[in-house]
Structure 1
Amino acid sequence: MATARSSAAAAEKRRLILDAAVRVFARQGFHTCRVSDIADEAGVAYGLVYHYFRSKDEVLDTLFLERWNVMLEAIRQVDSQDILARKKLEAIAGFIIDSYRHDPDLMKVIIVEVTRAANSFGQTHLAKITEAYNLIAQVVERAQEAGEFRTDISPQFAAMAFYGAIEQVLTGWIFDSLPKAGQDFDDAKRLIVETICGGLDQ
């Protein structure tokens, strides 16, 4: 019983540090902040961060992989459903946009500090990032085989265009260059799918 309580307390501390890191990375940028900034934000001793994470890099890696793996699983679950590809792409776009809506700081960190950081974390996690494109490409490829989508556009290109459109909209929200009231999120889901699927439809 004591061990279970100890494990739960450790997990809670680790989560506290990760959540604090999201706020610090989003506010200050990964490269300009220090581990001590994360500790201060979490309200814990400096050394406690190093008890759970070997470095600031490992904190960012953990944040990215946690969220990205959730997204990959969501894409797989959507693709397993017996629905048209357009509906699958709507669900995937909806999941990613709702993720931003729920936790904009985390999505900002993932986009700015990882997926768009070509010379650092983006390169480190390229295989994981590419996995998402490949899963979306499979949705498109099967739709092409079923006659739902035209076949003169490669599935990989379509997947990258689809995800790229979503990421660009998120970037617009991150930098406040696009409106982000309640209806704007729903409009974005619809318009991204209409734009991409409009080019893929037979």
Structure 2
Amino acid sequence: MMATTNGKQPAHGKQPAHRPSRRQHIIDAAVRVFGRNGFAETSVQDIADEAQVVPTAVYYHFAGKEELLELAMRRVFDQLNTVVETARPDTEPGDAEGLMRVIDAVWDWVEKNPDEARLYQVQIASANGNIKLMRDEFEQRHIQRAYDYLPESTTRSPRAAKARHASQALAVRTLISTTILVTALRAEGGPLSRLPSRSVQKAVRSLALRIVAADQQAESAATSA
């Protein structure tokens, strides 16, 4: 029988494969390794080493690193969905106060979950296959929610309505891409990493309000034209 330490861990320092809790432990490790190295440069051995298990323990729970990446990214998307929808539930209006709560909630999530945030930054641009499908579903979900922060169009002219829709789409995507971009720039070693976190957060809040205000002015101009 293999010797153990305190009756829990094999003497060589590796964790047993079969514990149900080991599954989440391995996903935790995968989040960290994929965030540091990216998918291509990560092996099952790397994840096993990070989790302090043998590679067979990884394969006991998962088909391979592809499945692990999907589960790791699903965790990130699910966490962000929960954070955003807790800050402003769908039943509440999309006003400026709600927008600020969402920005602050996402900001706090990034600060409290640096491994997940780093994984998101590393994988979001190069996503393919099932990860791309998850990313597209995630983006569409929040694009639709972002429209709530803009005034409803009252333009009746088909041509003006088409232009108004394009203007709103640009405003929505700018809101979302700004948050994503700033998150990436704040990463360790990034150009914003040495600036005070709250100062950058304040600037993001200000920019978001300006984007919404500019769209409101565009709606007023289109209505009065």
How does the TM-score come out when normalised to structure 2?
Answer: 0.71
In the aligned structure 1, how far is the partner of 2:68 from the partner of 2:196?
A: 31
Identify if the C-alpha distance between structure 1 residues 188 and 105 changes in structure 2 by more than 3 Å, giving closer, same or farther.
Answer: farther
Task: Go from structure 1 to structure 2 and tell me whether the alpha carbon gap of 1:105 and 1:31 turns closer, same or farther (over 3 Å shift).
Answer: same
Shift of 1:87: 1.4
1:129 aligns with 139
Indicate how the Cα distance of structure 1 residues 121 and 95 shifts in structure 2: closer, same or farther if over 3 A, else same: farther
Consecutive unaligned residues in structure 1, runs of 5 or more: 1-8
What letter matches 1:51 in structure 2?
Y
Specify which of 191, 196, 206 is matched with residue 181 of structure 1.
Answer: 196
Hey, what's the Cα distance between the residues in 2 that align with 1:40 and 1:190? 40
Paired with 1:192 and 1:68, the residues of 2 have a C-alpha distance of: 24
Larger radius of gyration: 2
* 1:96 partnered with 2:103: no
- Look up the equivalent residue of 1:64 and give its one-letter code: M
> What letter matches 1:19 in structure 2?
D
| Alignment CA distance shift 1:120-1:84 (3 Å) | closer
Cα distance in 1, alignment partners of residues 84 and 110 from structure 2 = 16
User: Which residue of the other structure, out of 47, 70, 73, is the alignment partner of 2:79?
Assistant: 70
Q: CA deviation at 1:181?
A: 3.2
Unaligned ranges ≥5, structure 2: 1-18, 155-160, 218-225
Identify the residue that residue 161 of structure 1 maps to in structure 2: 174
Instruction: Check if 1:196 corresponds to 2:211.
Output: yes
Q: How does 1:23-172 map to 2 (within 5 A)?
A: 23-77=32-86, 78-80=88-90, 82=92, 85-113=95-123, 115-117=124-126, 119=128, 123-125=132-134, 126-137=136-147, 139-140=148-149, 143-144=151-152, 152=164, 154-172=167-185
Q: Distance in 1 between matches of 2:202 and 2:142?
A: 23
Q: Which one has the bigger helix percentage?
A: 1
Specify whether residues 75 and 23 from structure 1 end up closer, same or farther in structure 2 by C-alpha distance, changes over 3 A only.
closer
Q: Is the 8 A contact 2:80 2:106 kept in 1?
A: yes
How large is the RMSD of aligned CA atoms in angstroms? 2.6
- State the percentage of identical aligned residues: 22
Question: Letter of the aligned partner of 1:20 in structure 2?
Answer: A
CA contact (8 A) 1:39 1:46 kept: yes
Give the Cα–Cα distance (whole angstroms) in 1 for the partners of residues 203 and 49 of structure 2: 37
- Conservation of the 8 A alpha-carbon contact between 2:168 and 2:215: no
Corresponding residue of 1:20: 29
Please, what TM-score do these two structures have when normalized by structure 1? 0.78
Instruction: Assess, with a 3 A threshold, how the Cα gap between structure 1 residues 192 and 96 changes in structure 2: closer, same or farther.
Output: farther
Q: Distance in 2 between matches of 1:85 and 1:188?
A: 19
Shift of 1:48: 1.2
More moved, 95-104 vs 38-47: 95-104
Aligned residues: 186
CA contact (8 A) 1:24 1:41 kept: yes
Q: Which moved more, 1:100-109 or 1:183-192?
A: 183-192
